[in-house]
Structure 1
Amino acid sequence: MPVPARRLPSWAWVSGLTAGAVAAVAVLAVQAGQGTRPTATATVPSPSAFPSARPTAERPPAPPAVPDDSGTGRRIVYSLAERRVWLVDVNDSPRRTFTVWPGTVDPDPGSYTVGTRTDATTGSDGVPVEHVVFFALKSGVNFAFSAAVDGSSPPPAEPGARTGGIRMKSADGSALWTFGSAGTTVTVVD
């Protein structure tokens, strides 16, 4: 009589295949450990390899020079075209320069003297201002340097408004206030 074939249970097959796979991985790992190993080398490309990636030590541009036709000695210089002020010391060296927001009316080019100074008031545009340094009057318009108390630039002037306030940032207003005592020369250039 024939003997029926015995079948192996499925767990035996799975166990056998798993053991074989683990053994194969172990053999490959040992072989890999005995082989040559790749080494990393650090190469630094020359700066000429990437000309656009070169680090640069760019310096900020030099501030504009004090206008030649602005006189000599200690003075405040205001350029109408550049909308810029310079605080110039007795040795003709600029101590500070900054841009400003002019009013709707410009003073005539020439030499003036700081007269009245007001610590704080309201500008003709209704904005509270500080460090007001008056230096000229033309056709009923007072010209003065000042800074808005809140540090903002002046709002656009209403059509037809005649304002002579020359506004600046708060820090610049403080510097001009300290520098521009009564009697200080103010030179206005084109």
Structure 2
Amino acid sequence: MPARIPSWAWVSGLTAGAVAVLGVLALQASHGPHPTAATARPSSSASASAHPSPSPSPTPTPPAIPDDSGTGRRIVYSLGQKRVWIVDERGMPARTFPVWPGTVSPDPGSYAISQRVPSTKGSDGVQIEHIMYFAGKSGVFIAFSNAVDGSSPPPVGPGIKTGGIRTGKEDGDALWAFATVKTRVVVVP
């Protein structure tokens, strides 16, 4: 009769395996293309006026929160716009910013922050921080994070799967301050 393995040994083995997989996936999550922010440049065709305007130019309006992204306090991530909104409990956008998604994107739907990791080294060798896991797909964990030095990730080679959604440094700080475990994340097309 074969010896029976105690349940504590199974739990310990599974836990160690899960921690190892999370570590590898966290490193992979830090890779991926990054969005570029458009910068406004003064027009060379501006003409001088005898009566200059007393008011400054209006500030561009940030993109509206996507329709069908739910209500209440949440993070909204638009796959098509490559943009995140931090939405307060009144349903008002507190902040919005572009992001650099990885090569594996979550399906549209509602998720929750499941784990927060203060910092680690990304698979691109860059120190990353504010890692917040909320989804998984195709064996890849998907998380928000930012590079400590503010850099964007280098392009990844063909066939490399990454689930990191990188933010800028200040945006990563704001997202980390807002999102605790169980904070809702709504992914829209």
State whether residues 102 and 165 of structure 1, in contact with CA within 8 Å, keep that contact through their aligned partners in structure 2: yes
Structure 1 counterpart of 2:143, which letter?
A: A
1:27-176 matches, within 5 Å, as 52-54=47-49, 55-56=52-53, 57-176=56-175
- Per the TM alignment, residue 105 of structure 1 is displaced from its structure 2 partner at its CA by 1.1
Rounded to whole Å, the distance in 2 between the matches of 1:81 and 1:60 is 24
Unaligned runs of 5+ in 2: 1-45
Rounded to whole Å, the distance in 2 between the matches of 1:152 and 1:87 is 22
Where in structure 1 do 4 or more consecutive aligned residues deviate above 6 Å?
none
Q: In structure 2, the residue corresponding to 1:53 is in which secondary structure?
A: coil
Rounded to whole Å, the distance in 2 between the matches of 1:110 and 1:123 is 26
State whether residues 124 and 163 of structure 1, in contact with CA within 8 Å, keep that contact through their aligned partners in structure 2: no
TM-score, with structure 1 as normaliser: 0.71
Unaligned runs of 5+ in 1: 1-50
Q: Percent identity?
A: 61
1:12-31 matches, within 5 Å, as none
State whether residues 87 and 95 of structure 2, in contact with CA within 8 Å, keep that contact through their aligned partners in structure 1: yes
Structure 1 residue aligned with 2:180: 181
Deviations 1:7-51 (A, max 9, x none): xxxxxxxxxxxxxxxxxxxxxxxxxxxxxxxxxxxxxxxxxxxx9
Rounded to whole Å, the distance in 2 between the matches of 1:106 and 1:126 is 22
- Per the TM alignment, residue 69 of structure 1 is displaced from its structure 2 partner at its CA by 1.1
State whether residues 147 and 169 of structure 1, in contact with CA within 8 Å, keep that contact through their aligned partners in structure 2: yes
- Per the TM alignment, residue 138 of structure 1 is displaced from its structure 2 partner at its CA by 1.0
Structure number with the higher helix fraction is 1
State whether residues 116 and 134 of structure 1, in contact with CA within 8 Å, keep that contact through their aligned partners in structure 2: yes
State whether residues 104 and 137 of structure 2, in contact with CA within 8 Å, keep that contact through their aligned partners in structure 1: no
Rounded to whole Å, the distance in 1 between the matches of 2:62 and 2:134 is 25
Rounded to whole Å, the distance in 2 between the matches of 1:98 and 1:151 is 14
Q: How well do the aligned residues superpose, as a CA RMSD in angstroms?
A: 1.3
Deviations 1:103-124 (A, max 9, x none): 0111100000001000001223
Structure 1 counterpart of 2:70, which letter?
A: G
TM-score, with structure 2 as normaliser: 0.71
Structure 1 counterpart of 2:183, which letter?
A: T
Greater C-alpha Rg: 1
